[in-house]
Chains A and B, each alone.
Chain A
Amino acid sequence: MFDKEKLEQLKKSHEEWENTVNTKVIAKRPERKKEFETSSGIKVKRAYTPVDVENLDYGRDLSNPGDYPYTRGVQPTMYRGKFWTMRQYAGFATAEESNKRYKYLLEQGQTGLSVAFDLPTQIGYDSDQALSEGEVGKVGVAIDSLKDMEILFDGIPLDKVSTSMTINAPASVLLAMYIAVAEKQGVAPNQLSGTIQNDILKEYIARGTYIFPVEPSMRLITNIFEYCSESVPKWNTISISGYHIREAGSTAAQEVAFTLADGIAYVEAAVKAGLDVDEFGPRLSFFFNSHNEILEEVAKFRAARRLWAKIMKDRFNAKDPRSMMLRFHTQTAGCTLTAQQPDNNVVRVAMQTLAAVLGGTQSLHTNSRDEALALPTEDSVRIALRTQQIVAYESGVTETVDPLAGSYYIESLTDQIEQKAMNYLDKIDELGGAAKAIDRGYIQKEIQDSAYKYQKEIEAGDRIVVGVNKFQVEESAPKGLLKVDPKVGELQKQKLVELRRTRDNVKVNAALEALKNSAKGDDNLMPLILQAVKEYATLGEICGVLREVFGEYQQSIVL
């Protein structure tokens, strides 16, 4: 991109400048540290120049917004057309309570729903099962059957909102419930839009809400791809998630690497099952974390887009440009929130929001200031949403597409993160793919090493967290935190008793039996799950039948 001769001159003069600084300036005004580096261990130079991007080819490496390799964004106009979807992850206690919170958020100007389920729901247990004790309604809403789902979306028109559901191992069951609720509202499946997370590999790696072993899990995922491409075409069938990998302690480059490695595994599984890559490719979506180091984060999002486009084009021979576009949801980094001086978190979240927006996210959840302490209160959730609105309407960063492109530093970082991610992908290929690498504990170990290093840096004072290891104050306990009523468990249990009394148990059993038989073969299980759901079989019953046939995943631990 630059004139060779001029570049040579520049190189020389920059070297001279560096020498002068090293010999003269530093002596008088030493720098704060000997070495500067990003979270991913990329050395940060004193200043970046055209020399650092001398091999950059605009057409090949960046291109225009909306063009391959989509480094600058997946749409030509980005936020000049429409802002990102502001989508706050919410849900707690019972379906009734969560329904109220959703209506509140929609009134406040939120443009999409994002459902948080409680842990028993995420792991396929009913509220009355022994392992659910103490967990019902805690980190999200408890859903035991279609009955709860009907209440959850009561009065919310499913043809008008898009809904994201953080559900993985039992994703097919919750999707089936959503389709069934829509039908009762008179909304056809092909009018539904939204996302299920449906990303089991990162559950094995980082989040822990797995149920079944790898193979049947991959089958369920592929079944969903196939079913939705025919019947629910506007649905994002998976949200391949780096968010939790980052929360578990990975670096930015590892986040890209391991997320895309999982992505590759899903595409391979679907292709192996006989699906055409362009049939399901456009419905794959991603989910990333937005952490504190703004510039590295922006580079991360750009690198991920470019790398995925190349993978889909070159490795999987995708033809449809939409298959090559990495569209993603972002959540600000929960692990950066401090329990100390919680109001400071508002500032952190604002920076992280800025990073996500400068990185070209399609939708965003901003964390609330009190989440290191408990579930967020309504006030905190409103501030978090307002943060997005302020960045959208007041900051001006939305007026042009990919405003940081061409920054020597950003482009250099983008290249280096991509390179680091590719190195990991090579290593994972060597190990036989993401599933095998997880089985060996390789990915987990890499993340844990980063997490432990991070913690040690904080404890040694090499890394400052404001309010935690510097600038501390004496604080009194925060007041007014949200508490989930411990009676929720009892309430759900009563609902289950009532349900089992009133439904047609003969039909329920027949539907479960049919599901069990098909699970043993290789039919697409989606229609059978939908049937069972409609007969009001519970989530625990459906997953129970599948547990019998598939068995359960055994964790790999390498510490």
Chain B
Amino acid sequence: MDRPIRVVVAKPGLDGHDRGAKVVARALRDAGMEVIYTGLRQTPEQIVETAIQEDADCVAMSILSGAHNHLFPKVVNLLKEKGIDDVLIVGGGVIPEDDIPGLIEAGVAGIFTPGTPTSVTIDFIRNNIKRK
């Protein structure tokens, strides 16, 4: 593929810890991707609208507040409601192992917990985006 992959990097919810999101944003840029960075306090509706207007290949979200079980599936479902099935959704942050199967089931393709090298996230996105 000779076009850059477009990724929306978003902080859903009220959590303001954006170190991880910003490090990932830079790493994705350095991997040749176009990163649309949304900033803090995004509602699921805002994230989905951004993904649509930016024609994103991937939505990458980061939550450290524990609200992931609520917010990640909400983004997935909103996209589904709009009939969008070609956007890869990944999540990261402080997410207990126990919650991961449920999130995957809900349609989040990959969950990256603290300590994950950015290269793992980058490869995952490259290998799993749905449009070529």
**A and B: direct contact (Cβ < 8 Å)?**
yes
A131 to B40, CA, bound (A): 12
Closest to B25 in A: A559
Assess whether B19 is in contact with A247, with CB atoms less than 8 Å apart: yes
Interface string of B74-109 (1 = CB under 8 A from A): 100000000000000000001011100000000000
Separation in Å of the A58 CB from the closest CB of chain B?
Answer: 40
Q: Does B118 contact A (CB under 8 A)?
A: yes
Q: Are A375 and B66 in contact (CB under 8 A)?
A: yes
Mark A65-82 against chain B: 1 for CB-CB distance below 8 A, else 0.
000000000000000000
Tell me whether B98 and A335 are in contact (CB under 8 A): no
Contact with B along A116-131 (1 / 0, CB 8 A): 0001101101000011
Are B43 and A131 in touch, CB under 8 angstroms?
A: yes
- Give residues 343-367 of A contacting B (CB, 8 Å): none
Task: Say how far B118's CB is from chain A's closest CB, in angstroms.
Answer: 7
| Pairwise interchain contact A374-B115, C-beta atoms closer than 8 A | no
Q: Known contacts A134-B71, A139-B65, A375-B66: does B37 contact A557 (CB below 8 Å)?
A: yes
| Interface size class, chain A | 35 or more
A486 to B39, CA, bound (A): 26
A42 within 8 A of B: no
Q: Are B16 and A203 in contact (CB under 8 A)?
A: yes
Q: Are B41 and A131 in contact (CB under 8 A)?
A: yes
Q: Pick from B65, B97, B113, B119: contact of A135, CB below 8 A.
A: B65
> In the complex, what residue of chain A is closest to B35 when comparing beta carbons?
A559
Kindly report which residue of chain A lies nearest to residue B97, judged by CB atoms. A477
CB-based contact A119/B13 at 8 Å? yes
Nearest opposing residue in chain B for A130, CB measure: B43
In the docked arrangement, what's the CA distance between A135 and B25, Å?
Answer: 24
A374 touches B67 (CB 8 A): no
- B22 and A123 contacting across the interface, CB-CB below 8 Å: no
Which of A119, A340, A469 has the most B CB atoms < 10 Å from its CB?
A: A119
How far is it, in angstroms, between the C-alpha of A335 and the C-alpha of B18 when the chains are bound? 12
State whether the Cβ of A338 lies closer than 8 Å to any Cβ in chain B: yes
Report the minimum CB–CB distance from B105 to chain A (whole Å): 16
Residues of B near A207 (CB, < 8 A) are 16-17
**Contact between chains at A134 and B97 (CB < 8 Å):** no
The contact of A372 among B66, B74, B114, by CB within 8 Å, is B114
Report the minimum CB–CB distance from B120 to chain A (whole Å). 10
In the complex, A208 Cα to B63 Cα: how many Å? 13
Question: B52 to chain A: which residues have CB within 8 Å?
Answer: none
Number of A-B contacts (CB under 8 A): 108
Assuming the A-B contacts A123-B14, A481-B96, are A249 and B67 also in contact, with contact meaning beta carbons closer than 8 angstroms in the complex? no
- Stretch among A96-104, A191-199, A382-390, A452-460 lining the B interface: A452-460
| Residue in chain B with minimal CB distance to A123 | B14
Complex Cα distance, B18 from A296, in Å, reads: 26
Q: Please measure, in the bound complex, the distance between the C-alpha atom of A426 and the C-alpha atom of B52, giving whole angstroms.
A: 45
A134 touches B114 (CB 8 A): no
Interface flags for A409-444 (1: CB within 8 Å of B; 0: not) read: 000000000000000000000000000000000000
- Contact A555 to B97, CB < 8 A, known contacts A203-B16, A208-B15: no
In the bound assembly, the distance between CA atoms of A338 and B116 in angstroms comes to: 11
Interface members, chain A 453-508 (any B CB < 8 Å): 455, 458-459, 465, 468-469, 477-478, 481, 483-484, 486
Count B-side interface residues using an 8 Å CB cutoff. Answer: 34
B98 touches A477 (CB 8 A): yes
The yes or no answer to B70 lying at the interface (CB within 8 A) is yes
CB distance from B57 to the nearest CB of A (A): 19
What residues of chain B lie closer than 8 Å to A163, measured between beta carbons? none
Decide: A135 near B96, CB < 8 A? Known: A451-B23, A459-B119, A557-B37.
no
Q: Is the CB of A135 within 8 A of B22?
A: no
Whether a CB of chain A sits under 8 angstroms from the CB of B129 is no
The answer to whether A374 touches B94, judged by C-beta atoms less than 8 angstroms apart, is yes
Contact A459 B23 (CB under 8 A): no
Give min CB distance, A494 to chain B, whole Å. 19
Please, which residues of chain B bring their CB within 8 A of the CB of A132?
14
Q: Are B98 and A481 in contact (CB under 8 A)?
A: yes
* A292 lies within 8 A of chain B by Cβ: no
A residues in contact with B115, CB < 8 Å = 338-340, 372, 465, 468
**In this complex, which of A130, A208, A248, A451 has the most chain B Cβ atoms within 10 angstroms of its Cβ?**
A208
- Name the distance in Å between A448's Cβ and chain B's nearest Cβ: 5
Residue contact A138 to B114, C-beta cutoff 8 Å: no
Alpha-carbon separation in the docked complex, A339 to B67 (Å):
18
In the complex, A123→B69 CA distance in Å? 21
Closest Cβ neighbor of B71 among chain A residues: A134
The answer for the CA separation of A481 and B99 in the assembled complex, in Å, is: 11
Inter-chain contacts of A133 with B (CB < 8 A): 70
Check if B126 is an interface residue, CB within 8 A of chain A.
no
Q: Say yes or no: B23 contacts A120, CB within 8 Å.
A: no
Q: A248-B19, A559-B25 are in contact. Are A135 and B37 (CB under 8 A)?
A: no
Chain A nearest CB, measured from B20 CB (Å):
9
Tell whether A208 pairs with B66 under 8 Å between CB atoms, given A134-B71, A249-B19, A451-B22. Answer: no
Across the interface, do A119 and B14 meet the contact criterion of CB distance under 8 Å? yes
Q: Are A208 and B16 in contact (CB under 8 A)?
A: yes
A contact residues around B22 at 8 Å (CB): 448, 451-452, 559
18 residue pairs of the A-B complex, CB under 8 angstroms, read A120-B14, A123-B41, A131-B41, A134-B67, A134-B69, A135-B65, A138-B65, A139-B15, A208-B17, A209-B14, A371-B94, A373-B97, A451-B23, A455-B27, A455-B118, A477-B97, A478-B97, A555-B39
**Other CB < 8 Å A-B pairs besides A130-B43, A132-B14, 11 of them?**
A131-B43, A134-B71, A134-B74, A135-B65, A339-B114, A339-B115, A372-B113, A374-B66, A455-B23, A477-B97, A481-B96
By Cβ-Cβ distance, the 5 closest A-B pairs, closest first, are: A208-B16, A134-B70, A477-B97, A119-B14, A134-B67
